[in-house]
Structures are given as C-alpha cells and as structure tokens.
A and B are shown apart, each in its own frame.
With several copies, the nearest count.
Chain A
Amino acid sequence: MTAALTFTTNEAAIVYTSRLMEEDRLYFVAIGGPPLLAILLAKQLRTPKIAYVVEDGTIAPEMPVPTPPFMVGAGLASSRAVAWTDMNTVDFHAGLGYLDYGVLAAVQVDEYGNFNSTFLGDDFDRPARRFGGPGGATEIASLCWRTILMTRLERRKFVKKLDFMSSPGFLDGSLGARERAGMPAETGPYRVVTERAVFGFDDETRRMKLLAVAPWSSIDEVLGEMEFAPLVAADVAPLDPPTEEELAMLRANIDPTGRTISGDWITLEDAGGTLRRAAAEPATTNA
C-alpha cells in the first residue's frame, strides 16, 4: 500500500470550504484566518471572479500570490482594493444586503448553527479557556444572507449547549427567531465545514443536517464525534479528499508560511482503489 495523500485537518476544511464558493458573489470575512484562505484558494482554482470585503474596510482587494506573511499586519493584504473604507462602512454594506456570504471560524457550534468564539468553561468571569471574542463574527453571521462556518469535528465542539453564544445561528430554531431578535429576514447559517464532514440546515426545522462525509470516514464516526444528533440527509454525498492540485496551491501560494499546518495530520492510503486513513499523528503546529 502506498501513501496517496497527506494533509492536516485544517487544510482539509479550507479546501472543502473553497469548493463551496459561488462565482460572482460577494463574501465578507474577518481579518486573516482560514476563511480568508479558503476564499483566496477558491479565487485561484475555481471562482476567480468572487470578490470579498474585509472587516477592516478593505473592499474587493486583489492580494498577490504567494500571499504575504503575517497577513493581518501586511499592507499587501489590502492591495489593489477598489476602496479603502472603515469597519462601520462595510458593516453597513452588509446590513444593506450587499454581502452574500459570510465565512467564519467557530470554537463551538450547536445544532442550530449558533456558535461560540468567547470562552470555554462554566463561568464567563473565570474562563477555563478564553478566546479572542466574537470579533466581527456576530455582525457577519447576522447581516450576510448566508453564513459558512469552519471548525473541527469534535464532541467538545459540536455541543448540545454552547458555553457562550457569541454569534447567532437560528437561535432556538423556532420560525422567525432571528427576526424576533432584531436580525434581518431570510438570513442564517448555510453550511458547517469540518475536516471530514459538511453540514447544512433543514429548511423546516433549521436543525443541522449532515450532507457529506469523507470516504475515509463514515456517518457513524461523524455522529460519534458530535454531542447532539444532527439530521442526516437521505443521500449523504462523498466528500472528495483534497487534491494534489488544491494542496499544492494552498501550500505554495495561499499559505506559504504554513499557518494552516495545524490540527492533526491525515494520511490516506490507496487500499486497492479505496482511500483508507492511516494512523493519525499530531501535527507540528507553528505559532
């Protein structure tokens, strides 16, 4: 048996997310991070004409590839934009309905797509682990028409009850819950992407629904990694692994400084035509 492919869980999520991009649409992202990398990858490989707006007021930039190191602090990240505005202005553009998709990373997510970027533990004032905070995620998840969430598939991340709801999904899932909370109509979470499974949301119940699973994983394995039981699509699609081309582009041009080399390594072996996962090893995580 020969090793066919090796990638990290983080890389997988970026690749799968990039495949969800819809040509000619306008995306809203925070400054830096996997969501932006997914968009940059998509622009290189599949949907060159998507444009994105950054939380800091940068509108439709054309970042050069290979991308600059330390993106959040690089003038190049804002280069060749059509306009440099500010945070309030782009939030207003989102509020007016111009921004189709928001792409965000989440620490914890529940069955209605609500998510946590604030802390883990049972006491807000004395967090077991404190994170950066909602950042721009709450406005992006509230004002864009559709939200795509990125996270890892782990029981501690797909929870029945969030330690803290930083940003809204469908709230309690009841019809019109977002509108009753003051949010614009017809908005909400669209996809949740992990390294081995992609979820959507049921139109009727607004509950998370398993749509696709990696061939080297299984529905049972996926459900086993979740504290709540999602709906499962009648026809769960196979989630094609990252291709050599996708990984090469990601590593050489989108993330040359290797910030996405985190999470675990996944090695796939070609077992007589079917891909099988080799034993996992922890990744060398860079700062």
Chain B
Amino acid sequence: MAPNGKTIAVLDEGVGAYRAPDPDGMRRFVRDHKDRRLVDKRMTEQDAVSRFVDDGAYVSYDTNVWRRGPSSLMREVIRQRKRDLWLAAKFSAHDATLLTAGGCISKIDVGWMEVGRVITEAMNAGRLKMYEWTNGALAYRHLAGALGVPFLPLRYVGGTDVFRNSGAKLIEDPYTGQAVCLVPAVNPDVALIHVNQCDMYGNARIFGPGLAPVETAMASKRVILSTEEIIDSEEIRKHPGATTLPYYLVDAVVHAPFGCYPGTVPGLYRADLQHLMEFGVAQVQGKMDEYLEKWVFSVASHTEMLEKRVGLEKLNVLRAEETHTEGYYT
C-alpha cells in the first residue's frame, strides 16, 4: 500500500470463468520454447497439429472458415480427435460448429459464431460451455496478451450481461475518476492462422483486412501457419514493409493451397457456396457425422480431400471465378 494509502475502487466484477492472465508465464514459455534462430519450420499439417495442439488447449484462430481462415488445420484438429479445447470464437463462422460436431471443444469464448442445432444441442447436453464476450472484446483481450500485460482498460461491456458473465471488472479510473472496465489478457496455447504467403522460417504476409492476426500470433504460445504459398526468404528481405508476422513468433509452416476451402482467400479463389449449402443441409438434417466422415475422416490429408472430394475441376472454377484481385495480388 502506498504511503498515502491510496486505493482504486472496484465498482463491479463479472463472475465468468476465464484463463487467468500470467504474463511472466508467457515470457518463460517464450524464453524456453520459442526459437530465435532462422530454422526451416515447414512440416505437414499432421505434424504441426500433433506437436502443437494438445488436448485441453486454449485455441485461437484467424480469420474464419468463410474467409482466409485455417480450415485445413481445423479439419486436421478434428481428424486427430483433439479433445476439451477452449475456443476463442472472435467473429468465427461455422468453425465452432465443425469442432463441436467433431467433439473437440468443451468451451467457447464467443464473439460471434454461426449457430445451428449442433451447438444448441451440445449446450443443452452439457457438453459445451459458452462464455459470452464480443468480437471486439476478444480481439482486445488478444491485444492485451500481445502487449505482455495482464489486462487492458475498455470502454464497453460494462452494464451488460456480457460483463456479468465475464472476467471483466469495473473500476474507478485513477486518472479521470470515471468508471472504466478492465478485461483480462488472453495468451492462447496455440493459434491457427492462414496466410497468403510466408517463407520457410515463418516470416508471413497477409493481404486484405484482417480480424486480429498480428495480436493473435503475438499473444499465443504456439503459432501454426498454414499458407497458400511459400516464398523465398530473399523476397521477404527485399520488402520488409510487406511482412505481417516475423519468423520468431511462428512454430510451424504448413503449405496449404486452398487452405481456407470451402471459404475464400480473396484474390485467389472464391468460396464454394455449394459446399456451404451441403454443410448447412447436413446440420439441419442431423447428418454432421456423415459430413465429417466425407470431408475429414475418410481422407488422410487436406491434399487428399482436395483431390478426392473437391476435384481439380472445381478448384479451377473457384480460382477462375475469383476475378477480383485488386489490392490483394494486383
């Protein structure tokens, strides 16, 4: 306590569960497990997921299965039957539904997600616990994790049921005397991020608006990149301003063309709407097991899925019909 014995009033506190922030724990992990050397990090999706995604892990990803998301890595997580994951669903799509149908997740920090009967049924069966945040608050908690601080002040969520069911606090700001919220940092155990280009060391480029790829990579203990394209490291060094993520944040580089399929990587290929409809119908009809069998379990890899389930002809159409490349690749 200060000589003057000053204190800051805690006006209110949420009662939700959350991963307790531990900036020094994050630092020790980085010191002991993250490689500062330029080493070749290319590996298969099988190796990356088995090495860096543990049961019970807190998993974050960027963006989502609709747009520039790590769909192939998510399917590998399902294929390896990972369990009890805690998912950060900051503007996710039906990613959360897939992982729930695969039995992989038991908790979700939700900003927004596409919801159907799979998630509703899992919640009612007690298999899935939801923690309500918002897209922005989750992106911001990742920023706090990326800054290496235990919390950040936030000027929203206060007064809502989101606050009440969260790990947020409402305090009296010692500078203005006004009420301000604090939200706890999150340092995911692993981040799955799909990028446009990277080199073998993990120096990565992302084109187009992001959600929070930089904060997510910085905040996470392990970072698995799937990439549409692996480029020469010389190219990275010729244009340092084009780099989104530096190599030392990254643990694995998985070469995954069409890695967001059935979603889009703007400028490269459009989304496969027929596939999205097939998924929607499967959920409505309660046939997610069949859907997963067809698209995940019956194929050994992303490449095999593309070859045997999508087919080169469809892939060519998806590329050909993504005619708008301005700002991304031109």
Contact = CB atoms under 8 A, between A and B. Distances in A.
Contacts of B58: none
Contacts of B322: 75
Contacts of B211: 56-57, 86-87
Contacts of B113: 132-133
Given A70-B271, A96-B27, A138-B134, A82 B208 contact: no
Nearest to B213: A86
Interface size class of A (residues with CB under 8 A): 35 or more
Nearest to A171: B159
Interface string A136-149: 11110011010000
A118 B132 contact: yes
B170 A182 contact: yes
A55 B91 contact: yes
A134 B327 contact: no
Contacts of A137: 134
A182 B23 CA distance: 12
B23 A184 contact: yes
A218 B160 CA distance: 33
Which of A59, A143, A162, A181: most chain B CB closer than 10 A?
A: A181
Interface in A46-81: 49, 51, 54-62, 69-70, 72-76, 78-81
B218 A142 contact: no
B159 A88 contact: no
Contacts of A100: 31, 36
Contacts of B324: 75-76, 79
B209 A85 contact: yes
B267 interface: yes
A52 B161 CA distance: 28
B270 to A, nearest CB: 8
Nearest to B157: A138
Interface stretch (B49-57, B79-87, B143-151, B293-301): B143-151
A131 B179 contact: no
B277 interface: yes
B124 interface: yes
A224 interface: no
A19 interface: no
A57 B214 CA distance: 13
A84 interface: yes
A168 B179 contact: no
A125 interface: yes
Nearest to B129: A125
Interface stretch (A23-31, A196-204, A229-237): A23-31
Contacts of A182: 154-159, 170, 178-181
A57 B159 contact: no
A246 B117 CA distance: 36
B248 interface: yes
Nearest to A27: B36
A84 B210 CA distance: 8
B114 interface: yes
Contact of B155 (A74, A79, A95, A127): A95
Contacts of A26: 36, 248
Interface stretch (B40-48, B224-232, B239-247, B308-316): B239-247
A138 B136 contact: yes
A75 B263 contact: no
A91 interface: yes
A95 B156 CA distance: 9
A228 interface: no
A86 B132 contact: no
Which of A30, A56, A127: most chain B CB closer than 10 A?
A: A56
Given A96-B30, A98-B34, A139 B134 contact: yes
A186 interface: yes
Given A31-B91, A82-B240, A124-B165, A135 B159 contact: no
A62 B237 contact: yes
Contacts of B158: 168, 181-183
A69 B268 CA distance: 17
Contacts of A162: 161
Contacts of B208: 75, 78, 84
A222 to B, nearest CB: 27
Contacts of A244: none
A208 B273 CA distance: 40
A88 B267 CA distance: 24
Contact of A56 (B30, B91, B154, B233): B91
Which of A80, A139, A180: most chain B CB closer than 10 A?
A: A139
Given A73-B66, A82-B247, A96-B146, 11 more contacts: A51-B38, A75-B208, A82-B201, A84-B208, A84-B240, A97-B30, A118-B132, A131-B115, A134-B112, A136-B134, A138-B162
25 contacts: A55-B91, A55-B136, A57-B211, A60-B246, A69-B273, A75-B324, A79-B326, A82-B237, A87-B210, A96-B218, A114-B160, A124-B132, A125-B129, A133-B111, A134-B162, A135-B111, A136-B136, A168-B156, A179-B179, A181-B158, A181-B179, A182-B179, A183-B155, A183-B156, A183-B159
Report, nearest first, the 8 A-B pairs whose CB atoms are least far apart. A75-B266, A181-B159, A95-B148, A135-B112, A97-B27, A142-B156, A182-B158, A181-B158
